[in-house]
Structure 1
Amino acid sequence: MINGDEGCPTFVFAHGAGAAMDSDFMETVALGLSAQGIRVVRFEFPYMQQKRETGKRRPPDRQPILLDYFREVLDELQVENPVIGGKSMGGRMATILATEMSVPGIAVFGYPFHALGKPEKVRIDHFCQLSAPVLICQGERDAMGNQSDVAQYRLPEQVRFEWYADGDHDLKPRKASGYTHQAHLDHAINRVSQFIHEVTSA
């Protein structure tokens, strides 16, 4: 699924564990980025394709399968210098992939720093192998890595954050916070668009 013109910088945008490539979040971000001169390429990992065909919920494929499929997508695209990234699990796979290949940048919406309820098992060991700049748009109260938890991690300087006040794993704030989900999404889209244009023109 592709949004945007061929001559624009390309962002290969992988979905998260539970929601498909055409979920409301993925659709909003893809359309928002394409409106700002980014060509957004979405795809589905094998388990999500099977879920779509059978209608039965399936757990994500194992990491090697996810990474192999992500590689296949990039190989088939044959695009020079694509920025890679994704929502949650998809973004995590992009950061792992970027340790073995050269990309201009990685953009992630809601990085899953740890599994739900398991803050002691942090998924950042590979970050020290990253050479490309990383932008992570994260909700302050994300259950898979909130702002106070992440502040304690030792992360490389090329990993940058945009924090969203009272945002959850989808950057969604509570009504009482005074913030809106749409405003957070709009800001994240603008920031990621700026990031992609910056790293692809460097």
Structure 2
Amino acid sequence: MENSELLCSGPVTGALGHLILAHGAGAPMDSPFMHEMAARLGELGVRVVRFEFPYMASRRQGGGKRPPNPQAQLLDCWRAVWRAVNAREPGAWAIGGKSMGGRMASLLADELGAAGLVCLGYPFHAAGKPERPRVEHLAGLRTLTLIVQGERDALGNRERVAGYALAPAIRLLWLEAADHDLKPLKASGFSHAQHLQRAAEAVAAFLAAQGGAGGSS
């Protein structure tokens, strides 16, 4: 994993938390959502590293949309990034991501011994397929986890998620009237910027509580 394939932001020294953040299925590591979240976290003292899965990196080279790699390849990419980041900046790194990126991280958090897990809009089920939840592994997850979820997320709203068996290590933060991108209905009285800031503050506090300041210095 070459350094040029990673996007880093936030303090290099004295960071209160360290987070490797993966993108979702349809947008790259420098999408508006990923860029703004990384910037907000950086302002709050979190060291953030972003990367791209192989299929997304290929889009930049050849153009055109490509479907996500098979799960095994996505997980292998996560492992390679984990090794590269820890070799360059040893420390107490948490892992996570937007949607699919967070789901892949959740499958590896215990294996990698991550300092924490952060999921922004977790896809509890595929679009239009609530009868096929992706939650079996979440029942036994040991890594301390924060899931920031919109109350009306089409991939897992508040009512549906309430029926899932989730591990005690998982904490859910529900954002009022928000969708899968944490964007609220206008009638809610909240703005997207407010929800993103609230999410960033919750993530920063969560990482600080996990001893994230034990990272590189």
Q: What is the TM-score with the length of structure 1 in the denominator?
A: 0.97
Aligned equivalent of 1:120: 131
Q: Distance in 2 between matches of 1:164 and 1:56?
A: 33
Alignment-mate amino acid for residue 3 of structure 1: S
Indicate conservation of the 8 Å contact 1:112/1:144, yes or no.
yes
Aligned equivalent of 1:137: 148
Aligned equivalent of 2:30: 22
| Structure 2 spans left out of the alignment, 5+ residues | 1-6
Show CA shifts across 1:105-134 (max 9, x none). Answer: 101100000000000111111113321111
In the alignment, does 2:10 pair up with 1:4?
yes
Match of 2:120 among 105, 109, 112: 109
Classify the secondary structure of the residue corresponding to 1:195: helix
Indicate conservation of the 8 Å contact 1:87/1:110, yes or no.
yes
Q: Distance in 1 between matches of 2:84 and 2:112?
A: 15
- Give the share of equivalent positions with the same residue, in percent: 48
In the alignment, does 2:68 pair up with 1:57?
no
Match of 1:71 among 54, 69, 79: 79
Aligned equivalent of 1:149: 160
Q: Distance in 1 between matches of 2:141 and 2:59?
A: 32
Please show how residues 165-176 of structure 1 align to structure 2 within 5 Å. 165-176=176-187
Q: CA RMSD in A?
A: 1.2
Classify the secondary structure of the residue corresponding to 1:53: helix
In the alignment, does 2:53 pair up with 1:42?
no
Indicate conservation of the 8 Å contact 1:105/1:199, yes or no.
yes
Indicate conservation of the 8 Å contact 2:139/2:165, yes or no.
no
In the alignment, does 2:206 pair up with 1:198?
no
Q: Distance in 2 between matches of 1:35 and 1:97?
A: 28
Counting matched residue pairs gives: 202
Indicate conservation of the 8 Å contact 1:99/1:129, yes or no.
no
Question: Which runs of at least 4 in structure 1 moved beyond 3 Å after TM superposition?
Answer: none
Show CA shifts across 1:64-96 (max 9, x none). Answer: 100000110110112222010000000001110
Show CA shifts across 1:168-189 (max 9, x none). Answer: 0001012122221111111000
1:29 Cα deviation after fit: 0.5
Q: What is the TM-score with the length of structure 2 in the denominator?
A: 0.90
